[in-house]
């Protein structure tokens, strides 16, 4: 067998976290008077899920405010994630969202 001078670098495929973990938000125990945003990833039929969910939420919590998925920015994999997250954050603040429900279609 011929001797080789080939050198291989071995890396750990698991990697290290790139961001510090954040503690979870405080749980909302009462939806009375709360504003709930809906965020959609523009995939198949999630808009229908939001329509049904809005009806159920308003039936159970009549004074809830729902900021519809078609008012807030969508989330999509092919978007600039940093800009998209900043756009969403600004929209949540402007609309006064106390919580956000996300949905994916499929």
> Containing domain of residue 66, as a range?
39-103
Higher pLDDT, 56 or 76: 56
The 3-state DSSP class for residue 59 equals helix
Question: Is residue 71 situated within a structural domain?
Answer: yes
Average pLDDT, integer, range 54-81: 86
> According to the model, what pLDDT value does residue 34 have?
95
The pair of three-digit structure tokens given for residue 12, joined into one six-digit string: 């750990």
Dist CA 52 CA 57 (whole Å): 9
Average pLDDT, integer, range 54-65: 93
Question: Is residue 34 situated within a structural domain?
Answer: no
Total structural domains within the chain: 1
Using alpha carbons only, how large is the chain's radius of gyration in Å?
21
Question: Is residue 56 situated within a structural domain?
Answer: yes
Question: Is residue 18 situated within a structural domain?
Answer: no
- Per the CB < 8 A criterion, the answer to whether 69 and 103 are in contact is yes
Question: Is residue 25 situated within a structural domain?
Answer: no
Average pLDDT, integer, range 94-98: 94
Average pLDDT, integer, range 82-104: 87
pTM metric for this prediction? 0.69
pLDDT > 90 in the chain, percent: 27
């Amino acid at each position: 067998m011929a001797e080789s001078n080939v050198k291989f670098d071995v890396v750990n495929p698991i990697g290290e976290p790139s961001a510090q973990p954040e503690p979870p938000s405080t749980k909302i125990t009462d939806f009375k008077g709360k504003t709930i945003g809906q965020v959609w990833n523009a995939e198949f039929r999630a808009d229908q899920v939001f329509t049904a969910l809005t009806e159920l939420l308003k039936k159970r919590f009549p004074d809830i405010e729902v900021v519809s998925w078609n008012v807030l920015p969508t989330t999509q994999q092919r978007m600039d994630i940093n800009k998209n997250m900043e756009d969403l954050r600004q929209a949540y603040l402007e609309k006064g969202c106390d919580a956000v429900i996300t949905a994916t279609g499929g």
